[in-house]
Chains A and B, each alone.
Chain A
């Protein structure tokens, strides 16, 4: 109670910088993961090839993989003595993006693949009946599945901004450089600075609420107006 009575919203430049970095990380990671994840999800639905089942199983495993383990793996890859040590990426923004790509891309591809399994055969049959070319069919699939894709991206963005383990390991929680809202909350709690921790927590909560609202709206839009 003492903590709450002393609490006031503390939007210091450092807090704002942390919020900005978290948002930037979320957007960049989600954008890059969509570049890999959406085509991969469509490919996994469409094509039958040797090893497809294994890839699907690995993808599903990665969807629920502990982020801290992903962080450790990326750390081992990027550490000075690691295979990509020469790139000097550890404890930098790109390192955090790389770690998030491993966490988010399987979510995007898995969700797109599941959605495509339901919707794509019908869309593809329609495209063939209209004699659409391959590229026209691909863009039609993206257009018709846009709400499923938004849903996957919103989920991924939510996962990105709420992630703590992996970004802490590969980012190092460096002030003004790699400190995100979640890693900052962890640090503030250790320091006993509950006011800033709660401020960041409230911002995260509002962001999560906004994402959930967006997802609900998309779902409602998708279901409304359909005459089954």
Chain B
């Protein structure tokens, strides 16, 4: 289990302050909140892109090489689609098997584009390639930061089916960040809600739905 305890980080006028947040292993977690609520900052702190001012992040025995993340605007190496896909394997001195690379290319609808210059792909194709590239080396904790925000329904379907298949075969821990809860409710087992730099609520998607409705009603009742 990933334990985030008394975590603090100040970035100019923004203050992230999380008393306690726990991510259970092998579950799909949703991290929701409005823009500026601190979701991406939290991800950067967990993945080591930023250092916290205070607090601890216990990765529960996971090593940094077991963790990966995808971003809203994924970086494409100035190389072919195939070389982008196998990059994480190459830096681990692993030889990619033909079946595996073909499987990922097929799942992402990129079959036949292996030799295409990756930066020339459309934004949806880039997202799918970055997703496959993040998963090909079999990480144990994956953060998906707003990746689905600008995707078409077909691409979202591809994402959902890949996540569902992995969770059936060899489950890993996922944290899907979104400011649009509808995207992730049908995937997640647990949802964590953030507001103004703080962790507000954790629960099942159903409980989160009730919580949000209750809050909404309180806000608008006189």
Interface residues of A (CB under 8 A from B): 122-123, 125-126, 128-133, 136, 140, 143-144, 225-227
Contact = CB atoms under 8 A, between A and B. Distances in A.
A226 B134 contact: no
Given A130-B87, A131-B64, 4 more contacts: A130-B91, A130-B133, A132-B91, A227-B119
Interface in B111-161: 117, 119-123, 126, 133-134, 137
A117 to B, nearest CB: 16
A125 B71 contact: yes
Given A130-B88, A225-B120, A227-B120, A125 B75 contact: yes
B70 interface: yes
Nearest to A132: B91
Nearest to B49: A128
A227 B65 contact: no
A226 B120 contact: yes
Interface string B64-95: 11011111001101100000000110010000
A132 B89 CA distance: 10
Nearest to B139: A131
Contact of B117 (A125, A132, A136, A225): A225
A129 B69 contact: yes
B152 to A, nearest CB: 16
Contacts of A132: 91
B122 A122 contact: no
A74 B117 CA distance: 47
A126 to B, nearest CB: 4
A220 to B, nearest CB: 14
Contacts of B123: 227
A129 B68 contact: yes
B119 A131 contact: no
B167 interface: no
Contacts of A125: 49, 71, 75
A33 B91 CA distance: 29
A140 B133 CA distance: 16
B126 to A, nearest CB: 8
Given A123-B75, A144-B78, A129 B47 contact: yes
Contacts of B64: 131
Contacts of B88: 130-131
7 contacts: A125-B71, A128-B49, A129-B68, A129-B69, A131-B68, A226-B119, A227-B119
B48 interface: yes
Contacts of A143: 78
B88 to A, nearest CB: 5
Given A144-B77, A144-B78, A128 B48 contact: yes
A148 to B, nearest CB: 11
Interface string B46-67: 0111000000000000001101
A125 to B, nearest CB: 6
Given A131-B65, A131-B68, A225 B47 contact: no
Contact of A122 (B65, B70, B75): B75
A132 B77 CA distance: 14
B134 A129 contact: yes
A131 B140 CA distance: 13
B146 to A, nearest CB: 14
A134 to B, nearest CB: 12
3 tightest Cβ-Cβ pairs between the two chains A and B: A126-B75, A131-B65, A225-B120
Contacts of A126: 74-75, 77
B68 A225 contact: no
